[in-house]
């Protein structure tokens, strides 16, 4: 089923999770357990990432098949087209079509950080180029990424929304946003979308706090602000107490999600980092309040 149809028929905000293909045997074992535990929450759909430069091409397809065929989930397949030529793009999308994928999230992607990688000479530079390439050829329900605090490469917020509007005009039917720790960034983003004439569903991404190091690293990569409130809350915890940090992160995310739901979002998309404990705590907490 197309994601947009799920939102039309859902009586409550949807619940969805992002997963990524395992890169080692140990990670694969952990992912198996994570999938089982998250599946027990009966999410409305899940998404599967696509590695930089097609580095997880086979792994992404295999994980999508597993989630669809073994677990019965509706799946959004990410497609990051950085560096891939037209033949590679067709090969990936054709393979997704064969296994029954109906939904794609189209993103530019980043250059691979490991090894030597030479982009195909006919590769497409931006996500908007990918949208223009894919839309006339395939009938996927296409989504794109949004950035409440602006993409790190965008010169300013106005230009960032201009780029987003172009992707919607080229056929994007929904937007999944990068996470932010202050919901005001998200609500301001919605206002900019409205002013620009962007009227497709906007699904907020939620990033639980897994560790201080991961929080700092991810925020620096994607330009998310770590608020003073969040830093103070973490500083007030017993130093080195991982369980206390995990519980704090769950409660912080529940408060954030509660506000998002009250603000009328179509659902919540949790970036799981292939872990389950935080997602379970967040969803159980919200369902206990009758919000999901």
pTM, rounded to two decimals: 0.95
- Nearest Cα to 168, choosing from 193, 139, 203? 193
User: How many Cβ atoms are within 10 Å of 172's Cβ, its own excluded?
Assistant: 26
Q: Which of 5, 18, 70, 191 is labelled catalytic?
A: 18
Distances, alpha carbon 199 to alpha carbons 73, 106, 174, in Å: 27, 18, 9
pLDDT of residue 114: 64
* pLDDT per position as a tens digit, 52-89: 655 677 889 999 999 999 999 999 999 988 888 999 99
Q: Count CA atoms closer than 13 A to 186's CA, side-chain side.
A: 23
pLDDT of residue 162: 97
* pLDDT surpassing 80 at residue 119: no
Please report, for the chain, the start and end positions of each structural domain, with discontinuous segments joined by +: 3-288
Based on the residue annotation, tell me whether 74 is a catalytic residue of this protein. no
- Nearest Cα to 22, choosing from 51, 43, 53? 51
Residue 242 in contact with residue 274, Cβ under 8 Å? Answer: no
pLDDT of residue 113: 67
User: How many Cβ atoms are within 10 Å of 112's Cβ, its own excluded?
Assistant: 15
> Which residue's entry shows tokens 């980043």?
110
* pLDDT per position as a tens digit, 49-58: 987 655 677 8
* pLDDT per position as a tens digit, 128-149: 999 999 999 999 999 999 999 9
Class of domain 3-288: alpha beta
Instruction: Provide the token pair at 92.
Output: 């990936």
* Residues facing 76 on adjacent strands: 47, 103
Q: Compare 165 and 124 and report the one with higher pLDDT.
A: 165
């Amino acid at each position: 089923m197309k994601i947009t149809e799920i939102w039309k028929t859902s009586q409550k905000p949807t619940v969805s999770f992002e997963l990524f293909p395992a890169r080692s045997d140990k990670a694969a074992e952990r992912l198996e357990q994570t999938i089982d535990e998250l599946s027990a929450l009966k999410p409305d759909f899940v998404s599967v990432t696509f590695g930089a430069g097609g580095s997880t091409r086979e792994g992404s397809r295999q994980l999508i098949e597993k989630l669809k065929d073994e677990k019965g989930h509706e799946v959004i397949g990410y497609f990051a087209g950085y560096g891939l030529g037209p033949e590679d793009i067709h090969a990936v999308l054709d393979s997704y079509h064969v296994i029954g994928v109906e939904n794609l999230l189209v993103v530019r992607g980043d250059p691979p950080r490991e090894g030597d990688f030479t982009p195909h000479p006919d590769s497409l530079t931006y996500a908007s180029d990918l949208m223009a390439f894919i839309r006339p050829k395939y009938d996927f329900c296409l989504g794109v990424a949004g950035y409440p605090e602006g993409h790190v490469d965008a010169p300013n917020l106005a230009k960032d929304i201009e780029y987003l509007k172009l992707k919607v005009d080229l056929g994007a039917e929904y937007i999944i946003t990068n996470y932010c720790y202050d919901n005001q960034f998200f609500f301001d983003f919605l206002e900019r979308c409205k002013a620009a004439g962007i009227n497709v569903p906007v699904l907020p991404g939620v990033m639980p706090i897994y560790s201080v190091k991961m929080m700092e690293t991810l925020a620096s990569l994607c330009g998310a602000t770590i608020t003073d409130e969040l830093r103070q809350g973490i500083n007030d915890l017993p130093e080195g107490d991982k369980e206390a940090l995990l519980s704090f992160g769950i409660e912080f995310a529940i408060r954030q999600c509660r506000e998002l739901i009250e603000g009328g979002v179509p659902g919540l998309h949790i970036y799981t980092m292939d872990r389950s404990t935080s997602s379970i705590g967040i969803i159980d907490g919200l369902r206990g309040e009758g919000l999901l």
